[in-house]
Structure 1
Amino acid sequence: MGSFMLYALVKLISIAGIRTFFNRISSQNLDQIPKEGAVIFVCNHPNTMMDPLIVGSTCGRNLYFFAKSTIFNNFFTRWILNRLRVIPVYRKQDDPTQTNKNIDTFYKGYEILESGESFLIFPEGTSTGDRTLGKIKTGAARIGFGAIENNNWKLNISLVPVGLSYSNAVKFRSDVIVRYGKPIDLKSYQKEYEANKVNAVQQLTEQIETALSKLTTNVNDLAFEKIVNALELIYKKELMVDLGLDIENKTDDFSATKGLVHAVEWYCKNRPEEVEEFEVMLDRYQNRLDLLKLKDEFLDPASGSTTMAQRIRVISYIILGFPVYVYGLINNAIPYKFPRWYAKNFVHDKSVIAPTKLITGMGIFIIFYSIQIFLFAFFSGNTPLTIFYIFTLVPSGNFVLSYIHQVRNYRQHLRFLSIFYRKRIIMYELIEERQTLIQYLNNAKKAYMKIEKINPI
């Protein structure tokens, strides 16, 4: 009972933490997940600790988690992790002499499945923090088949692939898409497994890899990542409108990004000289944007011009909201800035930046808020006023983020106008460069869709 209560408490705190850290978590195909019975969730692993928190908070099941043994490095963490249903996996790259302990790990997996419960495993075996899908290991398939074999193929086990796609894996208030794939019934492999166990394991592992590839916006080569990121920034909205997709719909957004990834990979393979030409144009355009400290969105004709009414609303918001901004800044600046400062100066692995920010942020906010509330209560001596003060802390912090976003956007707008009137020739050249890029991409899109026989919506 104590372990379950600890698990439930940590799960609630984790859900609150990730829903604060991320702007939007979009879960798709939740109806694919079996509501009961043994389930193995297999997921790509771009963001270390964030990944299990996100899957655990969206899948609707109480999970066990398979994790590398190196995090069980002392008595305290072992005690905590055991009660949070985390099971150690002994990887060869960590310590080759410890891999024999995986026998116990496999048996624990069998027990979980035999009791009709679920676990999450990351078949890549490591988290790199980039946009590629690593080599899929056979552990999930071997545990699943082992459990069924031990029960004479009478045990029903579903394997559900999960794809995680981050708009920015390390940035506070970024977006995440969680896509659940169609469950794989392990019993469907009975003939193959009984004929040749090794081949059956390999076939299932390949099916997992194919499913994860379809459920994510990963690239096959890191060399493509820069181009895909640029296309998402410059071209994706125009592409979605052209194809009749809804810009606000996350499923359509995923489809557009997936299409961009496929197109980039096709061009890199079949027309590398055109990719090189585009990269030269793209670098020149982005370098000029950086030099002028401008964002691409301000050169996009689709964004439209700012009306006088819009300017009045923004200016009024900035002026009237300033006192609330100052109040929120005083109460939230230190705990908000500290996690970013700490991660920037002490964390060098991209895949652990986000969880470091989350953990340090939760810790520093709890400590800082506690001190503030104590001091306010002590000096005010007014309980109702203190309660009111407590309820203003988080909303005022959120207002600060919104206020800063509005100020930065308006400042960027003013900078754009200033440069446009002072350096009109340069701005016209930049707009022309953007139009050339867009036209180049439109021509490439038409050629690609014609060759691949893709019909627009």
Structure 2
Amino acid sequence: MLRRVVEQIFGVALRIFFRRIELDGLSRVPSEGPVMFVLNHPNALIDPAFLLCLSPRPVSFLAKAPLFKTPVLGAIVRAFDSIPVYRRQDEGGARVDNQDTFRHARELLLRGRAVAIFPEGTSHSDPDLKPMKTGAARIALGTGLEDLTIIPAGLFYTAKARFRSDALVYFGAPLSVPYAPLDARGEPPPGAVAALTRDIDVALRAVTLHGDDHEILALVERTSEIFAAASEEAWSVAEAFELRQKLLTGHARLRARDPARLDALVARVLRYERDLAELGLGPDHLAPHNITFAASLRYALRSLFALGIVFPLALAGTAIHYLAYRISGMVAARVAGQFEDMLATGKLLAAMTFFPLTWLVVGLGAGYAWGLKAGLVAGLLFAPIAGWAALHFWERFATVRAAAHGLGLFLVRRNLLAHLSDERRAIRAEILALADVVA
């Protein structure tokens, strides 16, 4: 029961923190039988929360041992049938023994359960994957199961530490586990472990974004946004991820084949971004041919109506939750320090603490002033609903403000807006042409 409660609470919290969450490749996940998920690890406790709360089947995670000793978190990881993994860095560099860990994981797999593990061994913000640990291969080979399937699952975040960004869980092509003879301790031979670890590394790279440095990843991110905006179509998170993968591959190939043409494209992208920044626009700005007076008027009237209807409730929600929102951000920044991969976890856990406390204070205040029923309604219904209204009001307001800015530029600097639109299409065309060159 605790697991179901935690799943529901964290599931709701994740869908509030992230604007869009997508699970792609679910058809590759077997509905029954032993399965091992192997995942990259860029976002601390957010990463396991996705699979634990949104996986098509129950999963038991291998988690670092210190979590089991942490108040509250310890109860949560135990509720999910997690298995402690002992690491040297957690034990002051002392030698560790994970034989019981591997035995427990194998027992779950032998019972047809699903187990998940982070082969990198630690959460991080490096541009590339860390070297794979051998634990996943040792567990898988040690089961001796012929029907065990390894599913690589890539975790992708458009901005992993930012509130209301997008996230994707991308399930890749399954790996079969070859037979390997076991020694007297039930351990597979080192050669088989090394070979399967290499296969896991290749499979995980196929479902993740990784580059030589952060600068290249940032360039690819911005270029993909320009390319997608030029298509004037709505893109799913999975499509945006696949586009970035292709751009990363193309960047590496073009750097080797035609660096001069690549540098010219990069310079063009940078000039375009500089022009956008001077006008306060994003790459998704409307082209002049998409702007008409009638359509703008209809959009303005609909937006004003929608914003006007929810404004009183949103104003109350903003007043109620603003302090908790700010405190959550400050606490998360203090806890995360220089570790960006911890920031989203800090924000989520802080918000899950301070927002309910805020609702409790509102309920107690209303109950003191108007009685028990009023307190229950205020704390359990009014405050959360007002918070939801505030969230959607300010998101819609930001969209309306951006649209109004674009319309203003259309009216006073239409030729410049047309030039930017043409340049965006030209950059997209050049990328497509370069794709043909490196294909």
Normalising by structure 1, we get a TM-score of 0.83
Q: Provide closer, same or farther for how the CA distance between residues 260 and 7 of structure 1 changes in structure 2, counting only shifts above 3 A.
A: same
Q: Provide closer, same or farther for how the CA distance between residues 191 and 265 of structure 1 changes in structure 2, counting only shifts above 3 A.
A: farther
Query: 5 Å matches for 1:257-276?
Result: 257-276=244-263
How far does residue 449 in structure 1 lie from its aligned partner after superposition?
Answer: 1.8
Describe the SS at the equivalent of 1:14.
helix
Query: 5 Å matches for 1:165-314?
Result: 165-186=156-177, 188-190=178-180, 197-239=189-231, 247-298=234-285, 300-301=287-288, 304-305=291-292, 307-314=296-303
- 1:151 — aligned with what? none
- 1:315 — aligned with what? 304
| Correspondence for 1:397 among 354, 368, 387 | 387
Q: Provide closer, same or farther for how the CA distance between residues 184 and 111 of structure 1 changes in structure 2, counting only shifts above 3 A.
A: same
How far does residue 25 in structure 1 lie from its aligned partner after superposition?
Answer: 1.8
Q: Which amino acid aligns with 1:259?
A: K
Counterpart CA distance in 2 for 1:26 and 1:75 is 31
Q: Which amino acid aligns with 1:115?
A: R
Describe the SS at the equivalent of 2:35.
strand
Counterpart CA distance in 2 for 1:355 and 1:267 is 37
- 1:367 — aligned with what? 357
- 2:331 — aligned with what? 342
How far does residue 328 in structure 1 lie from its aligned partner after superposition?
Answer: 1.9
Q: Deviations over 1:370-406 (max 9, x none)?
A: 1111211221126268437732322322221222122
- 1:409 — aligned with what? 399
- 1:116 — aligned with what? 112
Query: Relative to structure 2, which stretch is displaced further, 65-74 or 382-391?
Result: 382-391
Q: Deviations over 1:186-243 (max 9, x none)?
A: 2x3448999x93332222222222222222344454332121111122112435x6xx
Query: Relative to structure 2, which stretch is displaced further, 156-165 or 438-447?
Result: 438-447
Counterpart CA distance in 2 for 1:383 and 1:435 is 60
Q: Deviations over 1:19-46 (max 9, x none)?
A: 2222222112323222333221111111
Counterpart CA distance in 1 for 2:222 and 2:52 is 32
Residues 1:356 and 2:346 are matched in the alignment? yes
Normalising by structure 2, we get a TM-score of 0.86
Structure 2 residues without counterparts, runs of 5 or longer: none
Counterpart CA distance in 2 for 1:371 and 1:76 is 22
Is the contact made by 2:36 and 2:116 (CA closer than 8 Å) also made in structure 1?
A: yes
**Over aligned residue pairs, what C-alpha RMSD do you find?**
3.2
How far does residue 74 in structure 1 lie from its aligned partner after superposition?
Answer: 5.7
Is the contact made by 2:106 and 2:140 (CA closer than 8 Å) also made in structure 1?
A: yes
Q: Deviations over 1:163-208 (max 9, x none)?
A: 111122112222222122233232x3448999x9333222222222
Q: Provide closer, same or farther for how the CA distance between residues 84 and 312 of structure 1 changes in structure 2, counting only shifts above 3 A.
A: closer
Is the contact made by 1:224 and 1:265 (CA closer than 8 Å) also made in structure 2?
A: no
- 1:135 — aligned with what? 131
Q: Provide closer, same or farther for how the CA distance between residues 191 and 273 of structure 1 changes in structure 2, counting only shifts above 3 A.
A: farther
Q: Which amino acid aligns with 2:48?
A: P
Structure 1 residues without counterparts, runs of 5 or longer: 149-153, 453-457
Q: Which amino acid aligns with 1:143?
A: I
Q: Which amino acid aligns with 2:220?
A: V
Fraction of identical pairs, as percent: 26
Q: Deviations over 1:107-155 (max 9, x none)?
A: 222232233322210111122235533322221011111222xxxxx56
How far does residue 249 in structure 1 lie from its aligned partner after superposition?
Answer: 4.6
Counterpart CA distance in 1 for 2:182 and 2:238 is 35
Is the contact made by 2:106 and 2:143 (CA closer than 8 Å) also made in structure 1?
A: yes
Q: Which amino acid aligns with 2:373?
A: T
Describe the SS at the equivalent of 1:335.
helix
Q: Deviations over 1:290-326 (max 9, x none)?
A: 3443323225457645522222222333344332221
Residues 1:28 and 2:24 are matched in the alignment? yes
Q: Which amino acid aligns with 2:99?
A: I
Describe the SS at the equivalent of 2:156.
strand
Q: Deviations over 1:31-62 (max 9, x none)?
A: 32223332211111111111111011222333
Q: Provide closer, same or farther for how the CA distance between residues 171 and 75 of structure 1 changes in structure 2, counting only shifts above 3 A.
A: closer
Q: Provide closer, same or farther for how the CA distance between residues 11 and 309 of structure 1 changes in structure 2, counting only shifts above 3 A.
A: closer
